[in-house]
Structure formats: structure tokens, C-alpha cells
Structure 1
Amino acid sequence: MPITIGFDATAAARQSAGIGRYTRQLLSALAARDDPYNYKVCYAAAGEMMGSLPALDSRFRTRPLPVSDRMLNAVWHRARLPVPIQFAIGSFDLFHSPDFSLPPVGSKPSIVTVHDLAFLRRPECAFPSLRRYLEVIVPRSARRATLIIAVSECTRRDVIDLVGIAPERVVTVLEGVDRSFRPVTDRAWAHGRVVALGVKGRYILAVGTLEPRKNYVRLLEAYAALRARGCAQELVIVGGRGWRYEPIFDKLRELGLQDSVTFARPNDEDLVCLYNCADVFVYPSLYEGFGLPALEALACGAPVACSQLSSLPEVVGDAAMLFDPTDVEDMTETLWRLLVGATLQRQLRQAGPVQASRFTWAAAAAHTADLYRRVADGM
């Protein structure tokens, strides 16, 4: 008999990147399977919608909730009113929340996905009010859940060590990379798309929200040191403004790099072109639960230099150069070696797509679907 899965797709509907992208990709991959499952997909539909649900077949019944995600959080997590999600979407056999927090589900089994514990590992890099909220909600949701999905072994260890969850209740399901992220065959076309974004010539690429955890201030210091050595590439940073982004622009002005750094907000097709045409992709993050931009860069064949911290070594494997993101000199030296090493660049361009091919959304969906069955059957 088919099992019915409640699924919170709020992130897919409301977020264009990050967990929104993760949720859309997982839903699409689940829809591509022929599992005997039915889904009740709900999402907070009031307010600004930055994302959208993917195309889903008749097994997926969508239910937009006429409230905002902030209202749901206020009711379920701040006021802790025990109003079960079944009140809005009806009955189900299990519920999956792919975005940290779990609504009341009555006596039904549940799964919650934890993407990272940056607010515990790097509390200075989290917006204070959000950190205080997550410090309560995420551990509470993890303890209530029947099973926790972690998106990397690093995150799994953090959930066990920092939240105190029994190891057998935390399962790693690695993220995938969308098949659109791949080496392009028409380099002239890709270069034309990059030029249209305002990129003047050869460049170093960085991707990620403008916020303290992404470590852009140190990257700018390393880039200034590279310019002093004769680096002619400009620096292209792709990402929206997060919290405490101002020090990035303060450092930019202090170092006099305004004419050498470009900030861009491309669509996915143009982002693929940026990855493909970059001389080097750099990912200096202080903490990641997974690190999808590094994987996307590998998939496109970009030579990658990235942080040696948190989940990133398990994502990039031997297909990237690693550095200490807290050490500007180490970052500078690693980038310089890659910029001047033509042979090393060729090796990494070949190794990247091979490493990225180990991470697929089909595999993530297969593992997730198996967990649905196990949890519904009482594990």
C-alpha cells in the first residue's frame, strides 16, 4: 500500500538559492522516481516568493498555506502552540521538513534535514537574533524527529557532538549537483555571456552570500597581495548582500580595489558560464555544511582553491587545492600557485568533473526514498 509523505516545500517556494535550491532539486529527483509514495506538499504562500516549486506529477498534491513562514514560525516555534500540520494538509504516514525546523506532527514519525550548525560552530558569523532562534529551534526539532538527515559527514558529526543526538538517528545523505553544471563546448558563447555581465577580462571567481562566514574580507586581502605580485585577473564575486556585508566594501575601498572587483547576480545559465570561463574558482568559507558552489565549480571544470575547514575537504576530495581560510598568506600562496601553474590548472580541470560525478540528485533521492520507507515501517 502506498505511503503518504507530508513535505514542507516552503524553502523551495520562498528562497531562490541555498536551501531553496536544495529543496527544489530533491523534489524533482523524487518526482523522477517511481516509488509507491504519495506526497502532500505544503508551503507558506503569503508574502514574497523568491523561488518556485518544480514540475510535479499527480502523486504530489500541493497545498499553499495562506500564511507567511514568519507566522508559522511564530505559532509553532516561538509560541509553541501544538497545532499539528495535519490541521492544514490532512493525514499522512510521515512528515519530512528539509529546512532545519519541524512543525508539530502529532504521533506521526518525522524526518528533519539539518544543513549545517554554523550558528553553533561559528556563532560570531551568525546574525544574533537568528542565532538565538536557531539555538532553540534546531536542537528541539532534531530531538523530536524520528530521524535526522545531515547533508555531509561533517554536519552529521556536528549534530551528534553539539546537539547530543544518538549516532543511529543521524544519517548522511549527500547533496547532488544539477546536470546543467558541466563543461561547456561552445567557449565563445560562454565568454560572450560573461562579458555581458560586465566582466572585462580574465578573472578569479568566488560565489556565496556577502556575509562574515564567507570570509570575503580576507579574500580581498589575499587578492590585494596577488595584485602586488602582478596578478592581472579581476575578482568576480557572485552573491547577494547578507548581514554585516558592510566590512567587505570598507575593505574594498581601503585596499583601493574598486576597479578590480566586480559584483554580479547572474541567473543559473550565466553562472555556469562564469564557472567555465574562470581562471580559478576560490571558496574561502570559514564553515559550510556542504559547500554546493565548490561542487558546481568542479562540475564545470574550473580549477578550484578552497577552504580546508568543515565539510569542504569531503566534497572536493583530491580535485582542489586547499588552504587555511584564516591565514591570508596561505590563501595567497595557494591562489598564486594555481594562477601561474598551467599544468596544475589542466590537472584540476580534468579532475573536477570526475569528482563532481560522485554527487548526484538521483542518488540523494534514492537514499531519501529508502529512509522514507524505513521510517514509515518503524525503522
Structure 2
Amino acid sequence: MTIAIEAQRIFRPNKHGMDFVALETIRELQKRNDDNKYFVIVAPGEDRCLEETSNLSIIELKSSNYLFWEQVALPRAIKHLGVDLLHCTSNTAPLRCSVPLVLTLHDIIYLEPRQHRSPSLYQEMGWHYRRLVVPRILKKCKKIITVSQFECNRIRHALNIPSEYITAIYNGYNTHFRQQSDINMDIVRKYIPQKDFLIFLGNTDPKKNAARTLKAYSLYLEQSLIKRPLLIADLKEEYIDSLLQQEGISDIKQYLYYPGYIANHDLATLYNAAFAFLYPSLRESFGIPMLEAMACGTPVIIGNISAMPEVAGPGALAVNPYKPEEISDMLLKLEIDSTLYQKQKEYGITRAQQFSWKKTANELVKLYHTL
């Protein structure tokens, strides 16, 4: 087969979840010797993280904006290439396409009620665009892929999609996330002065639950004898200040470190150096950071809702993410109970081994050939 894969944003330097899913899956497809030919269609960017091979060609499309790139430039390129099918990897796709369409629909959060607008203009515009485009695209897809059974059921019921049109294919995680016998403290000190800190990957999306996580951290500081500092990724100081003021906990700022975006290649070292990873999200369709931390042997505290328990498994430390006191109590248990802490380290490593990008790619190729 000749397959086009839309991966518009994988060349941008500051990649996020869906970018890594597309990139790592494509790399695994590239390794296969299955006579398929792949055209990966991207927007130009500084991080050329993918190289062409005999079975994979890279097509760069330039455009002034996302909408024109996806709705005009991409369909033109597909028609010119004469491929057998198009796989769009990040929730949206062209409304008109000359070949069969496969869509990876990571979630439908943007179709669900929300508490307030996103403080990021980029996220807010993306929210409206997806609400407009996604319901119209789904009717034209030959197959819809999502990333967990939770999300599969959610999409099927919310949008009345017959079960045969949608399937779940689990994500994997990069194998550089593993236990390190020798932690590079030079990398750690780029972000925080010491080891055994707490780490939280947040952003301005309300689902990441940043305000309650900070509140839980303040409750932890009140009771902990150790008072471990908290490393926060992807949040700017002014946004953190607004949350601290909102929760009435500005006094904890001295314990916070907020370097902004953390490069993915540094995250494995930071997970290894951390005492625990806080992931009490309000809504996840999968949750790759959980697996990354678990694979490094770092205990993880997760929310007990959406797809997190499905992915993290029955042995995970799951709490009600709407109750900061539960997050704080679980963190204190980890700090006090060394037996529990060691069990969580071992459990996480074992659980993470059930997932891989190779498995993801194998399932994807099977699906391509059913079409």
C-alpha cells in the first residue's frame, strides 16, 4: 500500500503529546519491512527529527495558517501523490479528501462542557476549530482510531458512531525513559538545585488541574517534615502567580521551580531524580507521561477518572483529583511508608512494559490493510 500520514507539527521544536505519538509511531512504521510506502506530510520546522528512508518520504507543505494547510494544501498534496489512503493523526482532517480517510481522534474534550475559557489564545482558537470540524469529518472516515477503551466508548456514545467504525490502539512510550543507575546532575541542575523533588507537568488547559495540584502541594508542605520542592513544567510565572493568589497560597512560591518547557530528552533524567510524579488530571484519553515516569521507576499519583486507571492499571495510586486533600494524603503516605514507595517503583516498571510504540505500529498496519 501507499499511505500518506499527516504529521503537521512534528518538526516544531516544542513538541507536545500528539506530536510525539505521531513521531514515534512513524519511526516504528519506518523500521518495518512490509512493502508499504509512506509519505509523511509535515509543515516546515527547526527540529528535523525524522529522516527519509527507502520506504518513507517526507513532504513539506508551507502555509500561512493551520486552517489553510489542512483544508487546502493537504488535500491538494494527497491528490497529487495518488496514495491509497490518508491517515490524519491529530484530531482533525480535511473536510474533502480524494482517498479513504483514517483519523486518530485522541479525545473529544472540546465537545464536552467546560468550566472556563483557556487563557491561551492558541488553545482557544484550536478548541473552536475542532468543535466545528470534527463532527463533520467523522461521517467521512473509513476508520476512527482512539487511544483507550475509555475514550472509544466516550466517542461512540457521544457522537452515535457504530462500534465497527471506531477502535482503540494504545500509545507507547520512548525507550529512553528507563531507570538510570547514574543520574546526570548537570541536567537536573538546569531545572532545580537538588534531587528527590516532586514533579508536575502542567499547562494552562483546565483539565491538567494545576490549581488543585498547587493547593494539594500547600497541604503537603503543612504536614511534611521534609518539604520537597515542586518542579512545574510548561507554566509561566505569571500564570502560577494567578493560581497561587486564587487559592490563597502565595507563601508556597519559595518551594516552586518553573523553568517553562522541559525538553523531552531531559525528562527521563528528571523523572529518575524525582521522588514522585503528580498527575492528578481531570481528564485524559491516555496519559503518556504516566508511563514515562513509571518506566523510570518513579511513583506516580494519578486521578481516578477517565482513562488513567485503565492505562496505569489496578496497582496505581489513584485519588479523586477534585479533592486536594486526597492528593496531599497520598503524597505523605509515599513519603512515610518506604515499603509502599518501593512497591510503587517496582509496579510502575512492570506495568510500563505492557506498552510500546512497536505494538502501536503493528496494530496500525493491521488496520490499514483491513481498508
After TM superposition, is the score higher than 0.5? yes
Amino acid at match of 2:5: F
- Comparing 124-133 and 104-113, the one that deviates more: 124-133
- What's the counterpart of residue 214 of structure 1? 208
- Percent of residue pairs bearing the same amino acid type: 25
1:118-150 Cα distance to aligned partner (Å, 9 max, x none)? 223353366354333211212222221100010
- C-alpha distance in structure 1 between counterparts of 2:304 and 2:170, whole Å: 18
SS of equivalent residue, structure 2 residue 66? helix
Structure 1 residues 1-379: aligned runs within 5 Å:
3-14=1-12, 16-45=15-44, 49=45, 51-72=47-68, 76=71, 84-86=75-77, 89-104=80-95, 106-124=97-115, 127=118, 128-186=124-182, 189-230=183-224, 231-240=226-235, 247-251=242-246, 254-264=249-259, 265-375=261-371
- Comparing 151-160 and 102-111, the one that deviates more: 102-111
Gaps of 5+ in 1: none
SS of equivalent residue, structure 1 residue 358? coil
Query: Would the aligned equivalents of 1:211 and 1:244 in 2 still touch at CA under 8 Å?
Result: no
Query: Would the aligned equivalents of 2:79 and 2:98 in 1 still touch at CA under 8 Å?
Result: no
Amino acid at match of 1:220: L
Amino acid at match of 1:9: A
SS of equivalent residue, structure 1 residue 355? helix
Amino acid at match of 1:6: A
Query: Would the aligned equivalents of 2:192 and 2:231 in 1 still touch at CA under 8 Å?
Result: no
Q: Cα RMSD between the aligned structures?
A: 2.5
SS of equivalent residue, structure 1 residue 161? helix
Amino acid at match of 1:212: P
Query: Would the aligned equivalents of 1:301 and 1:350 in 2 still touch at CA under 8 Å?
Result: yes
TM-score (norm 2): 0.90
SS of equivalent residue, structure 1 residue 11? coil
Shift of 1:254: 3.7
- Comparing 8-17 and 165-174, the one that deviates more: 8-17
Gaps of 5+ in 2: 119-123
Task: Give the length in aligned residue pairs.
Answer: 363
1:174-201 Cα distance to aligned partner (Å, 9 max, x none)? 0001100000111xx3344213323335
Shift of 1:343: 0.6
Pick closer, same or farther for the CA change 1:34–1:96 going to 2, 3 Å.
same
Pick closer, same or farther for the CA change 1:356–1:82 going to 2, 3 Å.
closer
Amino acid at match of 1:276: N
